[in-house]
Chain A
Amino acid sequence: MNFFNSQLSTLNPQLPKWLPLGLLLAVLLIFPIIIEGTSYAYLSRMAGLVGLYALLALGLNFTLGYVGLFDLGYIAFYAIGAYTAAILSINGYSFLASTFAAIVVSVFVRLLVGVTILRLRGDYLAIVTMGFGEITRIVFNNWDSLTNGPKGLPSVGESIRPVKILGMTLVTNTHYYYLIAASVILTILVSQRLENSRLGRAWVAIREDEVAAELTGLAVARLKLGAFVISAVFAGLAGSIFAHWERFVTPESFVFWESILLISMIVTGGMGSIRGVILGAVLLGGVPQLLQAALVGSRFIDYRYFFFGLVLVLAVLFRPQGLWPSKRRQVEILETEYVN
């Protein structure tokens, strides 16, 4: 009996903390290879799309999640990134060059918009950003000479070239899945590092109480603008990847609904929580598509957004802090340490 017990205790040590995350990452890394060529291959494309949503949601998390700015027009900067990349690629520029340009243009426009509107608060900011999002889409829809209007880019006879990176040409959905996964990981790293810094704390403090933050010495206006601009980096990046992957952009991809969806991902997952935002992107970006695939042919297919909406309402009712909220960092305290 004793022997058995001691055996058990050595066999059953605490599972290492990284194990679940490690397993999940391993699965995410290899599943596209396994399903390639099977009838489930469409899942790679779906996962890629969810990844793009995650990338965008993590970008929007800088403003909506950390600082609490109610930004309803984020999709406009995704559109600006996508169109910039598309136009440059059509004119012969490489993926890296057009992505860089997409980021720069998104950031620049975001800076101009931010300087003018960030003094607005709460609901006013929401209305103005929503307006900007719609204006952007309408401009792309009507600026025929540059964007080919509702017909989209490229025009007949032109093409967006596939991504060439590190000597490889990305062709399949699986390839793009990996490109997107790498971008998401990079974005997570940036988010984590900024979140756990003086800057990240300042952002969250502004979200918690703007007046107290200003009176604690934070230059609230400048800090807000910083978050606003940084978030555009990821919109530009995602836009360029999207343009190169689809090799086609139209204004239709950048409707107001997409901004709403991104906000829902963040609120449902947990404002300012990296893991929560990713969970939100997976649930809200992936589940409707899965439902569509699962319900095709059944008489429930028309109800899929009904189920989707119901889940959202329940989630927000019962988990107002988000499905997977962030944990605040805990520190070690030695009681005798600072007694004066």
Chain B
Amino acid sequence: MSTNPLLNITALSQSFGGLKALDSVTMAISPGEIVSLIGPNGAGKTTLFNVLTGVYKGTSGQIRFQERPIRGLAPHQIVPLGMARTFQNIRLFTNMTALENAMVGRHTQSKNDLLWSLLRNKTFYRQETEIEIEAKKCLATVGILTSANLIARNLSYGDQRRLEIARALATKPKLLILDEPSAGMNPRESQKLMELIRHLKNQGLTILLIEHHMRLVMGISDRIIVLDHGVKIAEGTPQEVAHNTKVIEAYLGKNAAH
């Protein structure tokens, strides 16, 4: 890796009481990569996402995002630096329209406007128009622009997942973190999701995802990192990881590996 990594994690641990959910995990992600995080249930994948995005503070170790240490910052301080995420269980603003969901995503990209909104001056309208246009672009990118006026809760399951991605995109991230984006999708929907992720990569985004859907993982990942019991057990290209004995052991048990 010749370029400076976008995200650099060193010896990161997170304990909950006696449980070490993450145990000295070290990894790096370069700009423009698609990296998948895999591992059996309870391996610490979502915990890692939560520490990265500021939900948990981490117990020890270091996280550098674009060279800047971010461990311990609040989520709303991390998002404007260029990191956005989706959730394993869809978390939308369910009673707002799809467009409004994406518009909320523009929050960090626009300014405080208490006085402007009360006075309704030119700056207010200019900013509102900009927020709306940018939000629409994000809906268009994920392919749900025509549903812009629908209440989020009334969208189809697949579209709700797409809307989460659109809302994350609206924050103008450099690193997009997707937590099981294809969960619950049918094969056709996950195929389209794969195309979307590739498209985002081509737009210059770096993507880190947790995924159980192996065909999707093998199909789009530049690199795969495997966690088990909070420890990184393997890392490499899809081919390398698929033949790694430790990985096979973790997934299928000791006997299968030999």
A213 to B95 alpha-carbon distance, docked (Å): 14
A209 to B96 alpha-carbon distance, docked (Å): 11
A218 in contact with B93 (CB, 8 Å) = no
B117 in contact with A201 (CB, 8 Å) = no
Q: How far is the CB of A198 from chain B (nearest CB, A)?
A: 5
A331 in contact with B104 (CB, 8 Å) = no
Interface residue B105 (Cβ < 8 Å from any Cβ of A): yes
A340 in contact with B145 (CB, 8 Å) = no
Interface residue B146 (Cβ < 8 Å from any Cβ of A): yes
The size class of the interface chain A forms with chain B is 35 or more
Partner of A331, one of B91, B106, B120, B132: B132
A183 to B100 alpha-carbon distance, docked (Å): 30
Q: When A198-B113, A215-B53, A331-B132 are in contact, do A338 and B140 touch as well, CB less than 8 Å?
A: yes
Interface residue A283 (Cβ < 8 Å from any Cβ of B): no
A217 in contact with B118 (CB, 8 Å) = no
Interface residue A43 (Cβ < 8 Å from any Cβ of B): no
Interface residue B85 (Cβ < 8 Å from any Cβ of A): yes
A200 to B171 alpha-carbon distance, docked (Å): 18
Interface residue A30 (Cβ < 8 Å from any Cβ of B): no
Q: How far is the CB of B200 from chain A (nearest CB, A)?
A: 12
Residues of the A chain whose Cβ atoms lie less than 8 Å from the Cβ of B80: 217
What is the number of residues of chain B that contact chain A, defined by CB distance less than 8 Å?
A: 54
Residues of the B chain whose Cβ atoms lie less than 8 Å from the Cβ of A135: none
Q: Which DSSP category, helix, strand, loop or mixed, fits chain B's interface? A: helix
Q: Which of A195-242 contact B (CB under 8 A)?
A: 196-202, 204-205, 208-209, 211-220, 226
B167 in contact with A216 (CB, 8 Å) = yes
Q: How far is the CB of A234 from chain B (nearest CB, A)?
A: 14
Instruction: Encode contact with A along B135-162: 1 for CB under 8 Å, 0 otherwise.
Output: 0110111000110110100000000000
Q: How far is the CB of B108 from chain A (nearest CB, A)?
A: 4
Partner of B55, one of A199, A215, A333: A215
Partner of B145, one of A196, A213, A338: A338
Interface residue A339 (Cβ < 8 Å from any Cβ of B): yes
A197 in contact with B96 (CB, 8 Å) = no
Residues of the B chain whose Cβ atoms lie less than 8 Å from the Cβ of A335: 145-146
A215 to B164 alpha-carbon distance, docked (Å): 11
B107 in contact with A218 (CB, 8 Å) = yes
Residues of the B chain whose Cβ atoms lie less than 8 Å from the Cβ of A202: 104, 107
A217 in contact with B131 (CB, 8 Å) = no
A328 in contact with B85 (CB, 8 Å) = no
A201 in contact with B97 (CB, 8 Å) = no
A sample of 9 more A-B contacts (CB under 8 A), given A197-B113, A328-B149, is A194-B114, A198-B110, A200-B117, A208-B94, A209-B91, A214-B75, A217-B80, A217-B105, A339-B140
Measuring CB to CB, which residues of chain A are less than 8 angstroms from any residue of chain B? 190, 193-194, 196-202, 204-205, 208-209, 211-220, 226, 328-331, 333, 335, 337-340
- A-B residue pairs, 4 tightest by C-beta: A217-B79, A197-B117, A338-B140, A217-B108
Measuring CB to CB, which residues of chain B are less than 8 angstroms from any residue of chain A? 53-55, 74-76, 79-80, 84-85, 87, 91-97, 99-101, 103-108, 110, 112-114, 116-118, 120, 124, 127-128, 131-133, 136-137, 139-141, 145-146, 148-149, 151, 167-168, 171
